[in-house]
Chain A
Amino acid sequence: MSEKFEPKIVAFFCNWCTYTAADLAGVSRLKYAPNVRVIRVMCSGRVDPQFVLDAFARGADGVLLGGCHPGDCHYAEGNYKTLRRMRMLERMLKAMGIYDGRFRLEWISGAEGDKVRSVVNDMTEKVRALGPLNLPGKFTEWDKEIEELEAHVNGGSKKEATVHAR
């Protein structure tokens, strides 16, 4: 039962900087936690806040977003757009009960392979400490209250469908 919790972290890395850095980290044989699933995007500005919510909804315990340092964007302004959106997204996440640490935005240039390692390791530990988010599990849990009724309605059970479950 008490298997050690291994956080699942979805990472969106920009093609020109952070993904290159992650590549560099690999080539340099820098070991980092295997908990990230990296998705390569052309620019951090391509990451719609919907992607982040969707990642959580599909079971991510953390979402990491990596882009070029301010001023270094391959598309000039993409990472500023990211920064602005994500500042607002963080506020929304907090208001929905997803607190600091599960979502992180980092600027990592193509040369900073070591930073990929330290950020990933640090985030993995912090999310591990927070414990599982497990939204898919929570969705199932929440819907139990209506599934019981579904069974009643379709199963033709004679038992009265009571709703008294405080």
Chain B
Amino acid sequence: MPDKPKVAFYWCASCGGCEEAVVDLAEDILTVVGAVDIVLWPVAMDFKKADIEARPDKSIVAAFINGAVRTSEQEEWVRMLRKKSQVVVSFGACANSGGIPALANQSRKEDILKYVYEDCPGVDNPDKTRPRIKCEDEGHTLTLPELRSMVRSLDQVIDVDYYLPGCPPTPKLIMAAVQALLSGKLPPKGTVLSPDIALCEECKRKDSKPADLALTEFKRPHQIQIDPEKCLLAQGIVCMGPATRGGCEALCPGGNMACTGCFGPTSRVKDQGAKFVSSVFSNIAPKEEKDIDAVLDGIPDPIGTFYRYGLSKCLLRRKLN
């Protein structure tokens, strides 16, 4: 009997939601486990780095890697997995474009450390102690890893073959990807394994989206009772749908909240935030600067709104400071 194909899962800077999404395959997970040999899955299985190192190059059929890349440890791991795997799938928003952790690319590392260990309410630290790369405690030498200056997407560190979008990807998409890989029917390299359409296309509210939004005001979701049927943009709520790839079947609008863009852009878009600005803000109502600005004031945090999951992939990559 030929060996079952070998598959690896690995996580970098992530929340564990992508792992949970795999667990959420629920009964289907038994099918997956029956069809492949999982050779690495830190959340659930034993592995040693040496085990992977000892494998011949390209002996793993596919490595699914989630999480953004922030430390050298993660960089070493993903490079090794690249070498050992035929296919690398960037799994979820953090791996694809930095995800929410990449919002840290608007801050300097020093500012983060200072706030957390000195300025945060409740910290009792008169000596301004900081975690150190190397320190002595009761005669014992202890070390900690160093953090990189910025949060990177997986493909900024290694070559990636496919992308599974979402925060996290839905079990449906995960199953589809696994099946495609197992059947050997592989799409062209670089494909995002989700429909290449805007989210609006699969949103139940689509029919109420006006051709010309002509907005006179943006509202924040806590300020109004949100109509559960009507297009959110038409209600003046920022919804990333027009600049976001479909595939989740509009879960958040189904929860009566706006899309926040976790699936990233479609293939025709280079920069999700800039594209959103292009598509939505052209169509607000006012024509005078002052009036335009008043409308824009309704969106107090453009970066956190338009690049909620994608700051690593913003063309500018990080805040310059």
Touch A–B, Cβ below 8 Å? yes
A85 near B278 (CB under 8 angstroms)?
yes
Among all A-B residue pairs, the 8 with the closest Cβ atoms: A97-B320, A81-B282, A163-B72, A163-B146, A53-B315, A49-B274, A50-B274, A164-B133
Q: Mark A124-157, 1 if CB is under 8 A from B, else 0.
A: 0000000001010011001101100110010000
Q: Mark B121-157, 1 if CB is under 8 A from A, else 0.
A: 0000000000001100000000001101110100011
Query: Contacts A85-B281, A142-B149: A98 and B106 contacting too (C-beta < 8 A)?
Result: no
Q: Which of B3-11, B21-29, B169-177, B289-297 contacts A (4 or more CB under 8 A)?
A: B289-297
Once bound together, how far apart are the Cα atoms of A97 and B317, in whole Å? 11
- With an 8 Å Cβ cutoff, the count of chain B residues facing the other chain is 49
Q: Mark B291-307, 1 if CB is under 8 A from A, else 0.
A: 01100100101110010
- The reply to whether the CB of B261 lies closer than 8 angstroms to some CB of chain A is no
B277 near A95 (CB under 8 angstroms)?
no
- With an 8 Å Cβ cutoff, the count of chain A residues facing the other chain is 42
Query: Contacts A49-B274, A49-B277: A87 and B293 contacting too (C-beta < 8 A)?
Result: yes
Other-chain residue from A84, A87, A142, A145 in contact with B318 (beta carbon distance below 8 A): A142
- The reply to whether the CB of A29 lies closer than 8 angstroms to some CB of chain B is no
Contacts of B287 in A (CB 8 A): 70, 80, 83
- The reply to whether the CB of B204 lies closer than 8 angstroms to some CB of chain A is no
A164 near B134 (CB under 8 angstroms)?
yes
Cross-chain pairs A/B with CB under 8 angstroms, 13 sampled: A49-B278, A50-B269, A57-B316, A87-B281, A87-B292, A88-B277, A88-B302, A89-B277, A92-B274, A92-B306, A145-B148, A149-B76, A153-B80
A87 near B289 (CB under 8 angstroms)?
yes
- Nearest Cβ in chain B — how far from A155, in angstroms? 12
Contacts of A162 in B (CB 8 A): 146
- The reply to whether the CB of B79 lies closer than 8 angstroms to some CB of chain A is yes
- Nearest Cβ in chain B — how far from A133, in angstroms? 8
Interface centre among B71, B275, B281, B319 (most CB of A within 10 A): B281
Once bound together, how far apart are the Cα atoms of A145 and B146, in whole Å? 11
In the complex, what residue of chain B is closest to A49 when comparing beta carbons? B274
In the complex, what residue of chain A is closest to B311 when comparing beta carbons? A96
In the complex, what residue of chain A is closest to B321 when comparing beta carbons? A97
Which residues of B, 95-127, contact A by the 8 Å Cβ criterion?
106
Once bound together, how far apart are the Cα atoms of A155 and B284, in whole Å? 55
- Nearest Cβ in chain B — how far from A27, in angstroms? 32
Once bound together, how far apart are the Cα atoms of A68 and B134, in whole Å? 61
Once bound together, how far apart are the Cα atoms of A162 and B278, in whole Å? 44
B319 near A96 (CB under 8 angstroms)?
yes
Once bound together, how far apart are the Cα atoms of A149 and B319, in whole Å? 24
- The reply to whether the CB of B256 lies closer than 8 angstroms to some CB of chain A is no
Query: Contacts A139-B317, A149-B75: A95 and B303 contacting too (C-beta < 8 A)?
Result: yes
Contacts of A16 in B (CB 8 A): none
- Nearest Cβ in chain A — how far from B8, in angstroms? 17
Contacts of A4 in B (CB 8 A): none
Once bound together, how far apart are the Cα atoms of A153 and B185, in whole Å? 32
